[in-house]
Amino acid sequence: MDVTRLPFNEFIGLKYADRQDYLLMLDDKTEYLNHLNSVHAGALFTLAEATSGHFLLGQFDKLPDIVPVVRKVAVKYRKPAFGTVYSSAAFLNTGKNEILEALDQKGRALLEVEVCLYDHSGTLVMQAVFEWFVTKQ
């Protein structure tokens, strides 16, 4: 699945990152700004959520029969974001092999993905932990 092609993500303009160390990005557009002329928290959250899903699906691209659903999210906005915003992601508290084992044994797994967002200068502007419930169809 291409998360950039989901209707809402397409509408907001999410793109694959043009920098090697990142996954997705939001361009520097006035449509994303808030009353302080920094990137709106809702736009940042949308980027983080899409990044989490993109990362998760990429880790299990050989398992086309999984259904991931977000259960819980913890967000910390660290600094105002200016300009283009980039994202990265990693599993938190577990590894891919442990998740695959749980899916094989139980048909489901609970996992966490940490997403970090950075502005154009590399400043960490937001961190989020997405808890996913994943089942096999």
CATH code for the domain in which residue 26 is found? 3.10.129.10
Alpha carbon 66 to its chain's center: 17
Provide the number of structural domains found in the chain.
1
CA-CA distance, 4 to 22, in Å (whole number)? 15
pTM for the predicted model, two decimal places: 0.93
Q: Give me the domain span that covers residue 27.
A: 3-136
- The predicted pLDDT at position 137 comes to 79
- In which residue ranges of the chain is pLDDT below 70? none
CB 27 within 8 A of CB 85: no
